Amino acid sequence: MTARDEAARGLSDIEGFLYREAHMGAVYRRVADLTARVEGLTPEQQRDIGKWYVDEQRHVARMVTDHIAEQVGAMEARHRVRVRQWLRGTLVAMVLVTLAMSACVVVILGSSR
Protein backbone atom coordinates (compact mmCIF):
# COMPACT_ATOMS: atom_id res chain seq x y z
CA MET A 1 0.00 0.00 0.00
CA THR A 2 1.41 3.37 -0.98
CA ALA A 3 1.66 6.35 1.33
CA ARG A 4 -1.13 8.03 -0.67
CA ASP A 5 -3.41 4.99 -0.17
CA GLU A 6 -2.60 4.89 3.54
CA ALA A 7 -3.32 8.61 3.87
CA ALA A 8 -6.64 8.25 2.04
CA ARG A 9 -7.60 5.31 4.26
CA GLY A 10 -6.54 7.25 7.36
CA LEU A 11 -8.63 10.25 6.32
CA SER A 12 -11.60 7.99 5.69
CA ASP A 13 -11.16 6.39 9.13
CA ILE A 14 -10.93 9.82 10.77
CA GLU A 15 -14.03 10.99 8.92
CA GLY A 16 -15.94 7.91 10.09
CA PHE A 17 -14.77 8.42 13.67
CA LEU A 18 -15.79 12.10 13.65
CA TYR A 19 -19.19 11.23 12.17
CA ARG A 20 -19.83 8.60 14.86
CA GLU A 21 -18.70 10.96 17.62
CA ALA A 22 -20.95 13.74 16.32
CA HIS A 23 -23.88 11.31 16.14
CA MET A 24 -23.26 10.05 19.67
CA GLY A 25 -22.89 13.62 20.94
CA ALA A 26 -26.31 14.40 19.48
CA VAL A 27 -27.72 11.25 21.11
CA TYR A 28 -26.41 12.29 24.52
CA ARG A 29 -27.80 15.82 24.09
CA ARG A 30 -31.24 14.49 23.08
CA VAL A 31 -31.48 12.12 26.03
CA ALA A 32 -30.27 14.82 28.42
CA ASP A 33 -32.95 17.19 27.07
CA LEU A 34 -35.59 14.48 27.42
CA THR A 35 -34.73 13.52 30.98
CA ALA A 36 -34.45 17.18 32.00
CA ARG A 37 -38.02 17.82 30.81
CA VAL A 38 -39.51 14.91 32.72
CA GLU A 39 -40.16 16.00 36.28
CA GLY A 40 -39.58 13.75 39.25
CA LEU A 41 -36.89 11.50 37.82
CA THR A 42 -34.17 10.50 40.20
CA PRO A 43 -30.55 10.67 38.98
CA GLU A 44 -30.57 6.86 38.83
CA GLN A 45 -33.70 6.87 36.64
CA GLN A 46 -32.13 9.51 34.39
CA ARG A 47 -29.02 7.33 34.01
CA ASP A 48 -31.14 4.25 33.28
CA ILE A 49 -33.17 6.09 30.64
CA GLY A 50 -29.98 7.56 29.20
CA LYS A 51 -28.28 4.16 29.03
CA TRP A 52 -31.33 2.56 27.43
CA TYR A 53 -31.64 5.38 24.86
CA VAL A 54 -27.93 5.30 23.94
CA ASP A 55 -28.01 1.50 23.63
CA GLU A 56 -31.15 1.73 21.49
CA GLN A 57 -29.57 4.35 19.21
CA ARG A 58 -26.47 2.18 18.78
CA HIS A 59 -28.68 -0.80 17.94
CA VAL A 60 -30.67 1.21 15.38
CA ALA A 61 -27.47 2.62 13.85
CA ARG A 62 -26.04 -0.89 13.56
CA MET A 63 -29.26 -2.15 11.92
CA VAL A 64 -29.24 0.73 9.42
CA THR A 65 -25.55 0.20 8.65
CA ASP A 66 -26.10 -3.54 8.15
CA HIS A 67 -29.08 -2.85 5.87
CA ILE A 68 -27.08 -0.38 3.80
CA ALA A 69 -24.17 -2.84 3.56
CA GLU A 70 -26.54 -5.60 2.41
CA GLN A 71 -28.08 -3.32 -0.21
CA VAL A 72 -24.66 -2.23 -1.49
CA GLY A 73 -23.56 -5.87 -1.68
CA ALA A 74 -26.70 -6.83 -3.60
CA MET A 75 -26.24 -3.90 -5.99
CA GLU A 76 -22.60 -4.85 -6.57
CA ALA A 77 -23.62 -8.44 -7.32
CA ARG A 78 -26.28 -7.25 -9.82
CA HIS A 79 -23.73 -4.91 -11.39
CA ARG A 80 -21.17 -7.73 -11.76
CA VAL A 81 -23.81 -9.88 -13.50
CA ARG A 82 -24.70 -7.03 -15.89
CA VAL A 83 -21.03 -6.32 -16.67
CA ARG A 84 -20.38 -10.02 -17.33
CA GLN A 85 -23.39 -10.15 -19.68
CA TRP A 86 -22.24 -6.99 -21.44
CA LEU A 87 -18.70 -8.33 -21.83
CA ARG A 88 -20.01 -11.65 -23.15
CA GLY A 89 -22.21 -9.83 -25.68
CA THR A 90 -19.33 -7.58 -26.71
CA LEU A 91 -17.05 -10.58 -27.21
CA VAL A 92 -19.66 -12.34 -29.35
CA ALA A 93 -20.17 -9.18 -31.42
CA MET A 94 -16.41 -8.77 -31.90
CA VAL A 95 -16.06 -12.39 -33.03
CA LEU A 96 -18.94 -11.99 -35.50
CA VAL A 97 -17.51 -8.73 -36.88
CA THR A 98 -14.07 -10.35 -37.21
CA LEU A 99 -15.55 -13.34 -39.04
CA ALA A 100 -17.55 -11.06 -41.36
CA MET A 101 -14.47 -8.97 -42.13
CA SER A 102 -12.42 -12.11 -42.75
CA ALA A 103 -15.09 -13.40 -45.13
CA CYS A 104 -15.07 -10.06 -46.97
CA VAL A 105 -11.27 -10.20 -47.30
CA VAL A 106 -11.45 -13.79 -48.60
CA VAL A 107 -14.13 -12.80 -51.14
CA ILE A 108 -12.17 -9.74 -52.27
CA LEU A 109 -8.89 -11.65 -52.59
CA GLY A 110 -10.65 -14.56 -54.32
CA SER A 111 -12.34 -12.28 -56.86
CA SER A 112 -9.09 -10.55 -57.79
CA ARG A 113 -7.54 -13.75 -59.18
Question: Global pTM?
Answer: 0.62
Query: What does each C-alpha distance from 92 to 58, 86, 89, 99, 107 come to in angstroms?
Result: 51, 10, 5, 11, 22
- Cα–Cα dist 23/58, whole Å: 10
pLDDT value of position 55: 94
Mean pLDDT of 44-65: 93
The predicted-structure confidence for 33-44, as pLDDT tens digits, reads as follows 999 999 999 999
| 56-100: pLDDT as tens digits | 999 998 999 899 999 999 999 999 999 999 999 999 999 999 999
Confidence of residue 111 (pLDDT cuts 50, 70, 90): confident
Q: How far is it, in rounded angstroms, from Cα 95 to Cα 91?
A: 6
